Chain A
Amino acid sequence: MDVDMNETNVLLVEDDVNVRTAIKGMLREMGISNIQEATDGVKALEYLDDHPDVLSLIVCDWNMPNKTGIGLLKDVRQAYPILPFLMVTARADKDSVLVAKNADVTGYICKPFSFEDFRKKVSTMLKIPM
Chain B
Amino acid sequence: MIKRGRKRDFYLELLIAASIFIVCSAFLIFTDFFEWWFKYTRAHEGWELDELFSLVFALLIAGSVSAVRHVLMVRRLMKRLYQANRDLKAHKVERIRHEKMIALGSLASGLAHEINNSMQPVVGLGGFILEGLKESGNETHYEYMKTIMNSTEHSQGIINNVLIFAREKSLEYEALDAFKILPDAIKFSTDVLPSSVVVNVSFDVETDNHEAIYINVNRTGFYQIFYNMLNNASAAMDNQGAIDISLALDVIPEAPHEVALRVDIKDTGCGIDPDIQSKIFDPFFSTKDISEGTGLGLPTVYALVEQHGGCTVVNSIVGKGTVFSLYFPIVEKSKE
Contact = CB atoms under 8 A, between A and B. Distances in A.
Interface string A97-120: 100000000000011111100100
B116 interface: yes
Given A22-B125, A25-B125, A113 B120 contact: yes
Contact of B120 (A91, A93, A95, A112): A112
Per DSSP, chain A at the interface is helix
A118 B121 CA distance: 13
A22 B170 contact: no
Contacts of A51: none
B123 A94 contact: no
A29 B126 CA distance: 13
B136 to A, nearest CB: 17
Contacts of A118: 124
A6 interface: no
**Size bin of chain B's contact surface:** 20 to 34
Contacts of B113: 63, 90-91
B221 to A, nearest CB: 14
A19 interface: yes
Given A22-B125, A26-B125, A111 B170 contact: no
A64 B123 CA distance: 21
A97 B118 contact: no
B247 interface: no
Interface string B149-175: 000000010000001000011100000
Interface in A12-38: 16, 18-19, 21-23, 25-26, 29
A112 B170 contact: no
A25 B124 CA distance: 9
B202 interface: no
B128 A111 contact: no
Contacts, number: 64
Contacts of B170: 92-95, 97
B117 A93 contact: no
A118 to B, nearest CB: 7
A114 B123 contact: yes
B122 interface: yes
Contacts of B125: 22, 25-26, 115
A31 to B, nearest CB: 14
B123 A93 contact: no
A18 B128 contact: no
A16 B123 contact: no
Given A19-B117, A91-B113, A113 B168 contact: no
Nearest to A91: B113
B127 interface: yes
B128 A115 contact: yes
A67 to B, nearest CB: 18
Contacts of A115: 124-125, 127-128
A23 B169 contact: no
Nearest to B166: A93
B107 to A, nearest CB: 15
Contact of B122 (A16, A21, A26, A112): A112
B320 to A, nearest CB: 41
B212 interface: no
28 contacts: A16-B118, A18-B120, A19-B117, A19-B118, A19-B120, A19-B121, A21-B121, A22-B120, A22-B121, A23-B120, A25-B124, A25-B125, A63-B113, A63-B117, A90-B113, A91-B113, A92-B169, A92-B170, A93-B169, A93-B170, A95-B170, A111-B120, A112-B119, A112-B120, A113-B124, A114-B123, A114-B124, A118-B124
Given A16-B118, A19-B118, A112-B123, 8 more contacts: A18-B118, A22-B124, A63-B117, A90-B112, A92-B163, A92-B170, A112-B122, A115-B127
